[in-house]
C-alpha cells in the first residue's frame, strides 16, 4: 500500500508550478514576437506595430487570432499522422526544457517551502541537451511529412545544422562543467552566487568568456535564428520546413521558435550570468520570499537582455551561406571549444598543484 500513498501536496505544488512556467513562457514568447517587430522597426528607422491597442500591445493577440481562424490545410499527399506530429513535437520539446531551469531560489507559502524549479535533477544540463536534440525531430518530421521537396531540403538543413552545432555547444560546456563539478543547474547557479564584488565576480562569464561565446553562437544556431536561419531561408527554399503548414500548426512552429529563444536565453543566463543572482544585494539577509522575488526579477531582466541581443543580431547580420555555416561550425567552433576545454583543464590541474 505504501506504493499508492502519493504526496498530493507535492504533486499539486509541482502541477501549479508547471502551469505557471508553461503559461509564462507562452506569454513571453507571444510578446517576444511583438518585441521582435518593434526591435526590427527601431533598427530600421520604422515605427513597428502601433495600431492594435496602445503602442500596438494587442498585436500578438491579433496575430494569434488570425492564425486560429485560418483554414487548416493538410495536403493530400502528406503523411497525416506525422504532419500533425511535427508541430506538436516542436512545441512539446520547446516547453519541456523549462523543467530544469531554476527560476528563483525558493518561496515560503503557508509554512511550506516551495522550490522555484520544477525538477532539480542532478543531470540538468544533460536533460537540456537531450530535449533540445529531440527538438530537431519536430523540424525533420514536419519537413518530411509535408511531401514537398523544399520542405525536405529545409528539414535536412535544419537537422544537419543542429547536429553540427550541438557538438560545439556540448564541448564548450564541458569546460564549464569541469569548473563547477556539477551538472545540476541549481548547483551551478549557487556556485556563481558565492563570488566577490556583489556576486558579479563569481559569474562564469569571467572564467569562461570563450566558452560563453561558443555557447551563445551555438544557441543561436539551435534556435534557427538569423544569421543561422537556413531552414527558413525564404529566398532559397520558398518558406522552409513549414511551407505546407497553415493555421495554428504553422503558428506552433513559429511559436516554438520563440519559446526556444526564451528558454535558451534562460539557460545562457543560468550557466554564465549567475542565473537568479541579483548583483550587489545580499539575498541571505532578507526574508525568503523577498529574496525569491528579487531573484526572479533579476533572472527575467537578464533573460530579456539576451532576447534583445538575439533580436539585435538577427536584424544586423545577413544569413550565412551553407558552406560558411558548416565551416564555422566544424572548423571554427569545435576546435575553439576543444582548445578552451584543454586550457581550462590545464588551469584546473595547475591550481591543484599537479
Partner 1 sequence: MQALTNRVKVVDRKPMTFGEKIYLPAVFKGMSITFSHMFRKKPTINYPEQRRQFSPVFRGLHVLNRDEEGRERCTACGLCAVACPAEAITMEAAERKDGEEHLYREEKYAARYEINMLRCIFCGLCEEACPKDAIYLSETFTPSNYSRKKLVYAKEDLLIPNVLTEADDLAKARGL
Chain residues that interact with partner 1, rule: CB under 8 A: 42-47, 50, 312-313, 315-317, 328, 332
Query: Smallest gap, in angstroms, from Cβ of residue 202 to partner 1?
Result: 26
Query: Smallest gap, in angstroms, from Cβ of residue 293 to partner 1?
Result: 31
Query: Smallest gap, in angstroms, from Cβ of residue 174 to partner 1?
Result: 21
Q: Smallest Cα–Cα separation from 330: which of 163, 213, 80?
A: 163
The grid coordinates listed for 304 are 530579456
| Separation CA 94–CA 258 (nearest Å) | 9
Question: Cβ contacts of residue 13 below 8 Å, gap of 6+?
Answer: 112, 114
- Secondary element (H or E) of residue 106: strand 106-109
Q: Rank residues 47 and 80 by Cβ distance to partner 1 and give the closer one.
A: 47
Query: Smallest gap, in angstroms, from Cβ of residue 42 to partner 1?
Result: 5
Query: Smallest gap, in angstroms, from Cβ of residue 47 to partner 1?
Result: 5
Q: Rank residues 45 and 323 by Cβ distance to partner 1 and give the closer one.
A: 45
Q: Rank residues 206 and 312 by Cβ distance to partner 1 and give the closer one.
A: 312
Q: Rank residues 23 and 327 by Cβ distance to partner 1 and give the closer one.
A: 327
The three-point CA angle 290-292-293 to 5° equals 65
Q: Rank residues 83 and 320 by Cβ distance to partner 1 and give the closer one.
A: 320
The grid coordinates listed for 67 are 492564425
Query: Smallest gap, in angstroms, from Cβ of residue 170 to partner 1?
Result: 21
| Separation CA 180–CA 162 (nearest Å) | 26
Task: Specify the long-range contacts of residues 295-303, CB closer than 8 Å, at least 24 apart.
Answer: 295/104, 295/105, 295/116, 296/103, 296/104, 296/116, 299/103, 299/104, 299/266, 299/269, 299/275, 302/269, 302/273, 302/274, 303/262, 303/265, 303/266, 303/269
Q: Rank residues 43 and 167 by Cβ distance to partner 1 and give the closer one.
A: 43
Q: Do 39 and 312 form a contact (C-beta atoms < 8 A)?
A: yes
Q: Rank residues 96 and 171 by Cβ distance to partner 1 and give the closer one.
A: 171
Q: Rank residues 129 and 315 by Cβ distance to partner 1 and give the closer one.
A: 315
Q: Tell me if residue 307 falls in helix, strand or coil.
A: helix
Q: Do 118 and 167 form a contact (C-beta atoms < 8 A)?
A: no
Q: Rank residues 250 and 328 by Cβ distance to partner 1 and give the closer one.
A: 328
* Burial class for 285, CB neighbours closer than 10 Å (0-12, 13-18, 19+): exposed
Question: In sequence order, what DSSP letters do the residues of 71-96 get, joined into one string?
Answer: PP---TTS-HHHHHHHHHHHHHHHHH
Query: Smallest gap, in angstroms, from Cβ of residue 122 to partner 1?
Result: 35
| Separation CA 92–CA 76 (nearest Å) | 25
Q: Tell me if residue 206 falls in helix, strand or coil.
A: helix
Query: Smallest gap, in angstroms, from Cβ of residue 305 to partner 1?
Result: 13
Query: Smallest gap, in angstroms, from Cβ of residue 226 to partner 1?
Result: 12
Amino acid at each position: 500500500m505504501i506504493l499508492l500513498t502519493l504526496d498530493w501536496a507535492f504533486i499539486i505544488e509541482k502541477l501549479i508550478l508547471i502551469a505557471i512556467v508553461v503559461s509564462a513562457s507562452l506569454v513571453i514568447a507571444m510578446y517576444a514576437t511583438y518585441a521582435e517587430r518593434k526591435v526590427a522597426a527601431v533598427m530600421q528607422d520604422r515605427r513597428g506595430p502601433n495600431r492594435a491597442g496602445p503602442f500596438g500591445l494587442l498585436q500578438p493577440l491579433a496575430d494569434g487570432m488570425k492564425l486560429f481562424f485560418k483554414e487548416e490545410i493538410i495536403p493530400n499527399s502528406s503523411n497525416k499522422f506525422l504532419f500533425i506530429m511535427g508541430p506538436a513535437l516542436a512545441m512539446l520539446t520547446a516547453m519541456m526544457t523549462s523543467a530544469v531551469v531554476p527560476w528563483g531560489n525558493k518561496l515560503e507559502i503557508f509554512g511550506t517551502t516551495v522550490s522555484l524549479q520544477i525538477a532539480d535533477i542532478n543531470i540538468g544540463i544533460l536533460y537540456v541537451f537531450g530535449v533540445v536534440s529531440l527538438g530537431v525531430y519536430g523540424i525533420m518530421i514536419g519537413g518530411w511529412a509535408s511531401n514537398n521537396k523544399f520542405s525536405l531540403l529545409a528539414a535536412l538543413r535544419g537537422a544537419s545544422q543542429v547536429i553540427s552545432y550541438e557538438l560545439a555547444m556540448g564541448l564548450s560546456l564541458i569546460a564549464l562543467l569541469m569548473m563547477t563539478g556539477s551538472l545540476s543547474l541549481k548547483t551551478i547557479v549557487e556556485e556563481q552566487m558565492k563570488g566577490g564584488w556583489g556576486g558579479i565576480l563569481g559569474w562564469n562569464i569571467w572564467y569562461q568568456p570563450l566558452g560563453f561565446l561558443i555557447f551563445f553562437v551555438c544557441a543561436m544556431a539551435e534556435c534557427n535564428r538569423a544569421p543561422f536561419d537556413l531552414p527558413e531561408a525564404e529566398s532559397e527554399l520558398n518558406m522552409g520546413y513549414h511551407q505546407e503548414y497553415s493555421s495554428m500548426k504553422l503558428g506552433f512552429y513559429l511559436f516554438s521558435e520563440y519559446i526556444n529563444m526564451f528558454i535558451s536565453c534562460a539557460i545562457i543566463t543560468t550557466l554564465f550570468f549567475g542565473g537568479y543572482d541579483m548583483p550587489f544585494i545580499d539575498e541571505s539577509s532578507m526574508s525568503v520570499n523577498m529574496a525569491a522575488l528579487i531573484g526572479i526579477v533579476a533572472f527575467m531582466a537578464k533573460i530579456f537582455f539576451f532576447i534583445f541581443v538575439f533580436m539585435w543580431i538577427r536584424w544586423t547580420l545577413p544569413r550565412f551561406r551553407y558552406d560558411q555555416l558548416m565551416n564555422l561550425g566544424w572548423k571554427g567552433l569545435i576546435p575553439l571549444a576543444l582548445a578552451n576545454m584543454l586550457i581550462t583543464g590545464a588551469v584546473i590541474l595547475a591550481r591543484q598543484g599537479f
